[in-house]
Structure 1
């Protein structure tokens, strides 16, 4: 587990480096998406810190937050209306916070992206939602998963799977932003990183 945490931190550093590059066509959409990628990466970084501290229940909760931030980043670019973008990026006030409550939740955002987002961008997000999202809700809301694992312990294979899922989301952030730069070299580096750090993933992301 310690080795996987160390390798995951190395991969995280690589992704942060790639996220430092500017997008090819700056807009309010890409500006918001970059912030949300940074939010998703922060959740992933915090997940590793909590795992290192053996705060596993809290770590699992962060995996869902990492996913939700990444879904919203994609939705901002591919499917949000101009009005929705404006609401989400408005200066924070009491009024804008109330208006922001109308922003769609994960299921609606995923549906809105169908036929608009590239299939290779949507597929890993959909697979995560189908395989992991519901169980993670239990950890956030104190459900049966949280009670059972906290009382009986967390098997190492489960923790490794969670960490690899988090790394997978980091990989999605990585390739998503590489595409926003429209820099062929950065896109190639992102794809190469999946092979270089393949021990950090459950499966290799697909760019096709």
Structure 2
């Protein structure tokens, strides 16, 4: 049965508060990296590509909030998989991608370069390659934690599986959407941490890190100690600080 109002999520105080706090976090993150005058460590293709991928992850996170607010939760939750994959790409580009892979993604977009880039590693292979890079150890913990806890459900949403069909038929508990916003916020923090790292300035990294305590209630619940930190706690290793 088709629902004319798209299975709209109940506009409860809890959901409105979660959306408001997510917006506040986004604004605080942008302030922490000084988004207006943001400057990466250098103009190399590697860093530029990683900046672009992290920025794509941020756009997906913002789109998720817009869709939730608009009563479109099924599409909103599906986008979180795109957000995670774009973030994984950003980390992989900085720490694990070969120079040839960087060149393929940095080339002007044509049918030929599209075909070449289409052969680059996807999520599973990027995560495997990152496992061999000591500098990527911390962000990899967060990326794997998110994948292990969410991949099955998100794949189901993306492919029209049981999660999508059952929620479309039966509706979405507000608690589920609030938890999804927390997970999205965690990925937002990781994406902005990548942008901070890509400035090469530890002061910027520390500003982003400091927001985790301020917004702790709006981020994913920390995992047990043996499993490593939750996504928002995982921080990449920065490039060498610039002289200035």
Cα deviation code 1:22-76 (max 9, x no counterpart):
2224311110111111111111001000000110000001100000000000000
- Which residue is 2:193 aligned to? 175
Q: CA deviation at 1:118?
A: 2.8
- Determine if the alignment matches structure 1 residue 125 to structure 2 residue 143: yes
Matches within 5 A, 1:59-208: 59-116=76-133, 117-203=135-221, 205-206=232-233
- Which residue is 1:10 aligned to? 24
RMSD: 1.5
For structure 2, list consecutive stretches of 5 or more residues without a partner in the other structure: 1-14, 223-231, 236-244
Q: CA deviation at 1:19?
A: 6.6
Length, aligned pairs only: 208
Please tell me whether the aligned partners of residues 120 and 207 of structure 1 are also in contact (alpha carbons under 8 angstroms).
yes
Aligned structure 1 segments of 4 or more residues deviating by more than 6 angstroms = none
Cα deviation code 1:63-94 (max 9, x no counterpart):
00000000000000100111111111211111
Q: CA deviation at 1:207?
A: 5.1
Please tell me whether the aligned partners of residues 87 and 191 of structure 2 are also in contact (alpha carbons under 8 angstroms).
yes
Greater per-residue helix proportion? 1
Q: SS at the partner of 2:71? A: coil
Q: CA deviation at 1:10?
A: 1.2
Matches within 5 A, 1:15-94: 15-17=29-31, 18=33, 20=35, 21-94=38-111
| TM, length-normalised to structure 2 | 0.81
- Work out which of the two has the higher radius of gyration on C-alpha atoms and give 1 or 2: 2
Q: Distance in 2 between matches of 1:19 and 1:12?
A: 12
For structure 1, list consecutive stretches of 5 or more residues without a partner in the other structure: none
Q: Distance in 1 between matches of 2:216 and 2:169?
A: 33
Q: Distance in 1 between matches of 2:101 and 2:88?
A: 15
